[in-house]
Amino acid sequence: MKRQIFIFFSLFLISTAWGDTWIDLYETDGVTPYNGHPIMVGQSLVVIVASDEGEYGAGAIVLEGNDSNLGELICRYPEDCEDSALPAAGEEWFLYPEVQLGVGYNFCTGDEPIAGNWFVFDYTATDVGDPNIALYMALPPGPDPTLVYRTEYITQVPTRDFDEDGGVNLGDLAIIAEHWLSSSCSAPDWCEQADLNQDTYVNVLDLAAFTEFWLELTG
C-alpha cells in the first residue's frame, strides 16, 4: 500500500509540476493543421515542438530507426538553427544534432520559457513509406525523470509530379496519356512513374491515384 501511495503521489507531483509537451504538424504554409492525409515524396510539412509548460525543458525530436532515411528533418538556417527557436522557448535555448535515438535534434529551452510553440523544423518526404517523427522528453529535468514519448506517423506515397516541374498538373497528365493502357511497365522507371501502383499497367487505378493530388505542389 505504501508503494501504491508513493506512486500515486509521484504521478501527482509530476502532473502538477509539469504540463505536457507534444508535436504539432502543419502544412507548408505553417498555419493549416496537417490532417494526416498521405503526402507525396518531395512534399513538406512544418513540425512544431509545443508545450503548455513554462519551465526549462530538454528533449530530442528525431526520425527513428529504419525509417530515418525516408525523410529529412531540418532546422531553419542549418548553420546555427537560429530561426528554429521560437520566442516561447526563451533566451539561451540550444539545438544540436542527435544521432543515437534517430536522425534529428536535441533541444533545450532557455531558463524561462513560456507555454506555446518552442521549436520549429521543416520535414520533407524523400521516399515512400510510413516514417514517424518522435519526440523524447525527460520530465522534469533532473536525476529521476519520467520519460515521455510522442510520435506522429506520416504516410508517404510516390510523387505524381512526374516531370518534376514543382506541381501536379497537365504536364504530368500528358505523361499518363502517353502511357495509357500500357501493360509492360517495369522497375525502376514504371512508365515514367505513371504506373503509380506498380502493377505493370497504366489504367484507371493509376488515374484515380493521380487525381487525388491534382494541382498540389511539390518541393
The residues of the shown chain that bind Ca ion, judged by CB under 5 A, are: 161, 163, 165, 171-172, 195, 197, 199, 201, 206
Q: How far is the CB of 177 from Ca ion (least distance, A)?
A: 14
Spatial distance between the Cα atoms of 39 and 31, rounded to a whole number of angstroms: 17
Nearer of residues 45 and 179 to Ca ion, judged by Cβ:
179
Residue 9 or 214: the one with the smaller Cβ distance to Ca ion is 214
DSSP for 93-114, written as a single string: -EEEEE-SSEEEEEEE--SS--
> Closest distance between Ca ion and the C-beta of residue 215, in Å?
10
Q: What are phi and psi of 211, to 5 degrees?
A: -70, -20
Task: Compute the least distance from the CB of residue 41 to Ca ion, in Å.
Answer: 13
Distance CA 148, CA 130 (A): 22
CA–CA dist 48, 71 (Å, integer): 16
Q: To which residue does cell 505542389 refer?
A: 217
Min dist. Cβ of residue 193 to Ca ion (A) = 11
Which of residues 126 and 197 has its CB atom nearest to Ca ion in the complex? 197
Cβ closest to Ca ion, residue 111 vs residue 199: 199
In angstroms, the CA 39 to CA 33 distance is 14
Smallest gap, in angstroms, from Cβ of residue 206 to Ca ion?
A: 4
CA angle 97, 55, 35 (to 5 degrees): 65
- Which C-beta is closer to Ca ion: that of 98 or that of 161? 161
How far apart, in whole angstroms, are the C-alpha atoms of residue 31 and residue 84? 16
Contact between 103 and 113 (Cβ < 8 Å): no
Residue 179 three-state SS: coil
In angstroms, give the least distance from the CB of 90 to Ca ion. 43
- Note if the bond before 140 is cis, omega within 30 degrees: yes
Q: Choose between 146 and 186: whose C-beta lies nearer to Ca ion.
A: 186
